[in-house]
Amino acid sequence: MLHLTLPVSRKTSLDGRLEIPESLAQRLLSSGEPLSLEWRGDQVSVSVEQMACTCAKGSASGTHVHHFLSSDELKSLPGGANVELMVDVEQGLIGIELVT
């Protein structure tokens, strides 16, 4: 079981995307398991997405990729808060708790 604490972007409530590290995205994608998000007592489908970006972070050229968990359920997360993810890669299950 992996445990991560992540900040919630102000954009998450608009697009339902929670940014995750590339390493976690790759582990989830390579597992081949369908992914589920456990949030507020419900279990819903969630997907891993990536998006090319040109923000100032990353390589010298400024281009890189951001990785996200995507689900309409994530729109209920308040921007600026932190969440803890409890990830069982083998089961494809991602628990999420609001911590601040």
Who contacts 33 (Cβ-Cβ below 8 Å, separation ≥6)? Answer: 89, 90, 91, 92
Q: What is the predicted pLDDT for the residue at 72?
A: 95
Q: What is the predicted pLDDT for the residue at 64?
A: 82
At 47, list the tokens.
Answer: 């997907």
DSSP letter (8 states) at residue 55: S
Q: Which residues pair with 93 in a beta bridge?
A: 36, 88
pLDDT band at 28 (very low <50, low <70, confident <90, very high): very high
- Residues 54, 16: Cα–Cα separation, whole Å: 21
| Domain 2-98 CATH assignment equals 2.40.330 | yes
Percent of the chain at pLDDT > 70 equals: 90
Q: What is the predicted pLDDT for the residue at 39?
A: 87
The DSSP bridge pattern shows strands 64-70 and 82-88 to be: unpaired
- 3-state class percentages of the chain: helix first, strand second, coil last, to nearest 5: 20, 45, 35
Cβ contact 8:73 at 8 Å: no
Q: What is the predicted pLDDT for the residue at 5?
A: 97
Quick one: average pLDDT of 8-18? 94
